[in-house]
Chains A and B, each alone.
Chain A
Amino acid sequence: MANVSESVHAHGDGGGDHGAHAHPDFLQHHFDTPVQQFNAAKLGMWVFIATEILMFGGLFCAYAIWRGLDPRVFDDAHHFLNKILGATNTIVLLFSSLTAALAVRSAQVGKRNLTSLYLIVTILCAGVFLVVKYFEYSHKFHLGLLPGHCFGHPGLSAAVQNGEEVGTCLRVHADSAPVMPEWVKAADEDGHVRLLSPRANMFFGLYFVMTGLHGLHVIVGMSILAWVLYKNIKGKFSPAYFTPVDLGALYWHLVDLVWIYLFPLLYLVGKPE
């Protein structure tokens, strides 16, 4: 009994002269202790990550459904994505995740300059990812794989007739399907000329929306890490308080996590040549 009352007393002592319980600058008023604040922040971040997964989940569900309905079309269409560029970007993101984890570690052990260095490398990797993505996107724009260009409603593309060029993709009438005139003929990443069903726009639509939303997260992640970097340079963090570094890195790992699934689902699955 004596023990219990003693520990309760120690709690009540919170804001007093007790060394560990003295209110440091980083401790918000509504938290008793730094560890309580840390755990609350972490839980909040994990709940946020769960909501992010559910947001991407809607798109993954759409992918699963449309792939199930149209496996052949998805198979044809996925050959228009470059595996090597996709794998390069995967490795770039994995490396940036490593440097983000190392940034947190440096913050935990109080190596401020090293934290800054790792954060800078992480942000640079994010930039490399976006540059590679830019080249991938612009190639697909050029081929006319954007929804609405080659894949528009027939009525909207009245000026484009049989065999006339749009970018480098040709519209042809497939003999087997005379009522669906807007088939697209274009060279894929291996140089094979393929005839794409009009419904391939579902694959490219999902590709652009999923990687686009992911790309948006990359940009947001870069901004968050840049803010953390700024605070770090100003000396706001220490082994006693590194929560923003930790949470910023968690966000960045989430970006990596989503890409880990996007890469195989969009670039890899399907029949190899």
Chain B
Amino acid sequence: MSAQGSHAVHAHQDDGAVHVHIASSQFYWGIFGALICLTILTVKVSYYDFGKANIFIALLIATMKGSLVAAFFMHLRHDKLFNTIAFLSSFLFLGIFILLTYDDLGNRGRVDNDYGGRFQLETGQAAPGGEPATTATSDSVAEEAPHGAAAAHGKKE
């Protein structure tokens, strides 16, 4: 009996035609409504200052919207699980990429807010890979007088 039952299911799946879940139009409009509400929310929330939480709130709402789009507009909810895994794996690898880049830069010293570039907290010296922009600009400041000549020269070329 059970063997026959599974055979019947097998035969249905194997008719070779495409069977997909078809949501109603009203359902899609409902998702759209939710997306609009979240958009209005994220704009409204941006007028209040939550300090460092600002970006996390914005990203949280964006992720909620993105999930709605991916799950329903893009049919992932009723699609093969492997497609969802392929999709989500991109975010995993993106996360690894960003974290490692952050870790690398985090160990190179601090940014100098007045002059640009980075310096090491302990020594006050320019950090490796973060030369301050002052070297380049102080040269051009020193050359202030022949600026017009430089421009004319530039035109000739």
* B17 with A158: CB separation less than 8 A: no
Give min CB distance, B43 to chain A, whole Å.
5
* A20 with B16: CB separation less than 8 A: yes
Q: Cβ of B156 < 8 Å from any Cβ of A? A: no
**Provided the pairs A46-B83, A83-B43, A272-B47 are in contact, do residues A158 and B116 lie with their beta carbons within 8 angstroms?**
no
Q: Which of A94, A158, A181, A198 contacts B32 (CB 8 A)?
A: A94
* A154 with B137: CB separation less than 8 A: yes
Q: Which residues of A contact B4 (CB under 8 A)?
A: 3
- Residue in chain A with minimal CB distance to B58: A264
- Kindly identify, within residues 112 to 156 of chain B, every residue whose CB is under 8 Å from any CB belonging to chain A: 113-116, 118, 133-134, 136-138, 140-141, 143, 147-148, 150-151, 154
Listed stretches A62-70, A206-214, A221-229; interface member: A62-70
- Kindly identify, within residues 37 to 73 of chain B, every residue whose CB is under 8 Å from any CB belonging to chain A: 39-40, 42-43, 46-49, 54-55, 58-59, 61-62, 65-66, 69-70, 72-73
**Provided the pairs A20-B16, A54-B90 are in contact, do residues A91 and B98 lie with their beta carbons within 8 angstroms?**
no
Interface size of B by Cβ–Cβ distance < 8 Å?
79
* A268 with B25: CB separation less than 8 A: no
**Provided the pairs A101-B28, A154-B140 are in contact, do residues A35 and B82 lie with their beta carbons within 8 angstroms?**
no
Q: Cβ of B101 < 8 Å from any Cβ of A? A: yes
* A240 with B91: CB separation less than 8 A: no
- Residue in chain B with minimal CB distance to A64: B98
**Given the complex of chains A and B, what is the CA–CA distance between A104 and B73 in angstroms?**
9
**Given the complex of chains A and B, what is the CA–CA distance between A35 and B20 in angstroms?**
10
Q: Cβ of A216 < 8 Å from any Cβ of B? A: no
Taken residue by residue from 247 to 273, chain A's Cβ proximity to chain B (1 for < 8 Å, 0 otherwise) reads as 001100100110011011101111110
Taken residue by residue from 12 to 32, chain B's Cβ proximity to chain A (1 for < 8 Å, 0 otherwise) reads as 001111111011010011011
* A34 with B18: CB separation less than 8 A: yes
Q: Cβ of A149 < 8 Å from any Cβ of B? A: no
**Given the complex of chains A and B, what is the CA–CA distance between A178 and B22 in angstroms?**
65
- Residue in chain B with minimal CB distance to A182: B137
**Given the complex of chains A and B, what is the CA–CA distance between A153 and B94 in angstroms?**
33
* A69 with B55: CB separation less than 8 A: no
Q: Which residues of B contact A177 (CB under 8 A)?
A: 114-115
Q: Cβ of A151 < 8 Å from any Cβ of B? A: no
* B43 with A32: CB separation less than 8 A: no
* A35 with B18: CB separation less than 8 A: yes
* A241 with B73: CB separation less than 8 A: no
**Given the complex of chains A and B, what is the CA–CA distance between A155 and B133 in angstroms?**
13
Q: Cβ of A98 < 8 Å from any Cβ of B? A: yes
Listed stretches A36-44, A126-134, A135-143; interface member: A36-44
* A98 with B39: CB separation less than 8 A: no
Taken residue by residue from 78 to 95, chain A's Cβ proximity to chain B (1 for < 8 Å, 0 otherwise) reads as 000001000100110011
Q: Which of B58, B86, B118 contacts A269 (CB 8 A)?
A: B58
**Given the complex of chains A and B, what is the CA–CA distance between A57 and B25 in angstroms?**
33
**Given the complex of chains A and B, what is the CA–CA distance between A259 and B97 in angstroms?**
21
Give min CB distance, A20 to chain B, whole Å.
4
Taken residue by residue from 87 to 129, chain A's Cβ proximity to chain B (1 for < 8 Å, 0 otherwise) reads as 1001100110110111011001100000000000000000000
20 contacts between A and B (CB under 8 A): A7-B10, A57-B90, A57-B94, A57-B98, A60-B98, A61-B97, A64-B98, A68-B105, A70-B113, A83-B43, A98-B73, A161-B147, A177-B115, A179-B141, A180-B115, A181-B137, A260-B66, A264-B42, A265-B58, A268-B58
Q: A98-B31, A253-B73 are in contact. List 7 more A-B contacts (CB 8 A).
A: A7-B14, A35-B17, A50-B89, A65-B105, A91-B39, A105-B28, A264-B42
Residues of B within 8 A of A (CB): 3-4, 6-7, 10-11, 14-20, 22-23, 25, 28-29, 31-32, 35-36, 39-40, 42-43, 46-49, 54-55, 58-59, 61-62, 65-66, 69-70, 72-75, 79-80, 82-83, 86-87, 89-91, 93-94, 97-98, 101-102, 105, 111, 113-116, 118, 133-134, 136-138, 140-141, 143, 147-148, 150-151, 154
